[in-house]
Amino acid sequence: MSSLIVLLLICAGVGFVAIALLSRQANSTSPKPTQAHGTDTAQSYSYSYQKYLFTQAETTFYHALQNATQSQYLVFGKVRVADVLKPQTDNRGDWQRAFNKISAKHFDFVLCDRASLKVLAAVELDDSSHQRVDRVKRDDFLN
């Protein structure tokens, strides 16, 4: 069991190093044009490194959640809704439309069983930005 946790931590560390190196490389080179699928129009994109994964409020809540649950659960942040939920329909078109509604959304935090990583709960923080009309609709959908 502990060797599995060590292996997961090593994999996570390697992933973070790879992301950091790719980000550094992307920032040190000029953006290269990429061709859009099926067109001759070239588009270029550039990206900047996000210094923090969470907002200050999310960070504070994350630490409180970690401290309150560390012996029972693992806490993951910014988990894509589509990695937790899947559409329940056999119709391919309906499935795709339902998937599209959740594919770009994320839960602020997900609590998982320490041993199996089974999802047990999803947590969404509602700060003042959640009073905007577009956020209220999104929150209603996620709830």
Q: Which residue has the higher pLDDT, 127 or 102?
A: 102
Show contacts of 1-8: CB within 8 Å, 24+ apart: 1/115
Q: Check: CB of residue 123 under 8 Å from CB of residue 65.
A: yes
Cα-to-chain-centroid distance, residue 74: 15
pLDDT of residue 71: 85
Report the distance separating Cα 27 and Cα 24, nearest Å: 5
pLDDT digits (tens, 9 = 90+) for 109-122: 999 999 999 999 99
Backbone angles phi, psi at 118, to 5 degrees: -65, 135
Report the distance separating Cα 140 and Cα 143, nearest Å: 5
Least confident of 6-10, 36-40, 79-83, 119-123: 6-10
pLDDT digits (tens, 9 = 90+) for 34-63: 444 555 567 899 999 999 999 999 999 999
Structure tokens that stand for 55 in this block: 């907002």
Structure tokens that stand for 77 in this block: 């942040």
Report the distance separating Cα 45 and Cα 55, nearest Å: 25
Q: What percent of the chain has pLDDT over 90?
A: 52
Residue 106, helix vs strand vs coil: strand
pLDDT of residue 138: 74
pTM metric for this prediction: 0.63
- Name the residue ranges covered by the structural domains of the chain: 1-29, 55-143
